[in-house]
Amino acid sequence: MSENPGKPSAFPSRIPLEKPTDRPLSAATQRLYDIWTPRQDVGNPFYTIFKYSRVTGIGRDDSDMSVSRRDPSKVLKIGDTYYVWYTRRRTRHIPVGRHDLDHANDEIPAVDWDLADICYATSNDGFNWIEQGVAVPRAPKGSYGDRSLSTPDILVFKGRYYLYYQTFTTMWRQNDCVNVSVAWSDSPDGPWTRLDRPVVPQGAPGEWDSCAIHDPYPLVYQGKVWLYYKGSPVDKSPGNLLRAQGVAIADHPEGPFVKSQLNPVTNSGHETMYWPYEGGIATLLILDGPEKDTIQFAPDGLNFAPMAHVQLSPQAPGPFCPDAFADDGDGRGITWGLSHMNPLGAGREEGLQIIRFDCDLSRDSSRAEFKRSNLHWGEETWFQRMTELPQEWRARILAEQGEFDKPTAGT
């Protein structure tokens, strides 16, 4: 009992499931109820940690060629067989990089996703894969899509399979200003018929998606095809929206697609995955923007709100999501998928590989080991190339210290 009858007792150690009304609450405690959940990470269905595994067949490539496999699609299970589609570059030369584009040609790639085709693989267990070859190749020289195809994703609609992908018709140039096309087949093994025209137009000059229509991600929702995509403007100067996600909606997989008036529907995100959850759509946003590394939910597929923070997110994830096209208002969530990994770190893309992730984002699973939130990283995490302070920066840092570091007050 409180020693002061007019004063509420201290906040209890067991968090009340309903917001207390008999006491003042700090702004942080209010957010626990208004934005998050009083059950914290353990009781949050949108929170997970991710665990990773190497895979065979489409993982590390030890051939004498320069090989990159990246951007896996959603994983489908057809009968007893899993299918995945992805970007594959197989060249004799490594990419020259975006700062040396004048040395790229028809045999030397500009960047990791240049001179690439859409390939596919199958598996019986999701860990061991067999590469089946090219699904959709680059077009003949001089045709639409003759330079490179990349970042595929898969849709099943009325018994037919549709592959969406980025289409490069000219040499890769800074900003990746390209659009998305589609091919279709009556079998997951092909053959595939190409549409050979854009299905979602780039925005007008000055609009948020005037440069890029990237990373197509189709779902069937509310009786229509919803094609989520990453957009970016031509002008990348400060103050412009660097990258965000939009959606275009059509009655048929070939379009015409109409962009939502609410676009962009997220303010963050780069290589983003989506999945039906209950009657809405959930998404994981990674890499770019103020809400990167959050899992968000939109009960209407449009108005997303952060539901959880996550760490070490999968890059370019493609989940196994059996109800991605069910459109039944009862999305069950996901437990695993494929993503890609750059063994050399960002900025040195000389051959990405596909890996597997496991998680607990399903209404049908209860994996306590995936709900831990007090994660500790080893030395190799802190001192990897992207986080260790470069030796060549030290002289400048020390000069700045001499200017900015004043004696501690009160000493």
Q: What is the pLDDT of residues 41-89, one digit of tens each?
A: 888 899 999 999 999 999 988 888 999 999 999 999 999 999 999 999 9
pLDDT tops 90 at residue 387: no
- 11 against 148, higher pLDDT: 148
**pLDDT per position as a tens digit, 257-306:** 999 999 999 999 998 999 999 999 999 999 898 999 999 999 999 999 99
The 10 Å Cβ neighbour count of residue 408 is: 6
* Domain extents in the chain: 51-376
Rounded to two decimals, the pTM is 0.93
Tokens 């970016």 sit at which residue? 232
Of 103-107, 235-239, 329-333, 375-379, where does the model show the most confidence?
Answer: 329-333
Fold type of domain 51-376: Tachylectin-2; Chain A (2.115.10)
Give the distance from CA 222 to its chain's centroid.
23
The pLDDT value recorded for residue 185 is 98
